[in-house]
Amino acid sequence: MSLVRLLGFRTLTCGCVIGRYREIATSREVTYVEEKGQACETYGHRRNHTIAAERVPVPVVAPALAAVKAS
């Protein structure tokens, strides 16, 4: 067991809550499934298990307007 620092939580579209942590000794980032969503059908999302960070979907954010011209 190693010491970790919490980086943040996020809710996935399937309803699962994941927590991102950084190991103090190695600076490696680890992502855990904290809570499985009630409607989640993904077998890989198991509570208190790690998931690969590259497999975690990134939320889509609409681009902001770059500039607005006042009349």
* Residues 12 and 37: beta-carbon distance below 8 Å: yes
- In this predicted structure, what is the pLDDT of residue 5? 92
Strand, helix or coil for residue 31: strand
Range of 39's domain?
Answer: 4-55
- 68 inside domain: no
Q: Residue 9: helix, strand or coil by DSSP?
A: strand
Q: Is residue 70 part of a domain?
A: no
Q: How many domains does the chain have?
A: 1
- What is the distance between the alpha carbons of residues 51 and 49, in angstroms, rounded to a whole number? 7
57-66 pLDDT, tens digit per residue, is 544 444 444 4
70 has a pLDDT exceeding 80: no
Q: Please state, as a whole number, how many other Cβ atoms lie within 10 Å of the Cβ of residue 31.
A: 19
Q: Residue 20: inside a domain, yes or no?
A: yes
pLDDT value at position 44? 86
- Within-domain flag for 42: yes
pLDDT at residue 7 in the model:
92
pLDDT tens figures, 13-54: 889 999 999 999 998 998 999 999 998 888 888 988 888 765
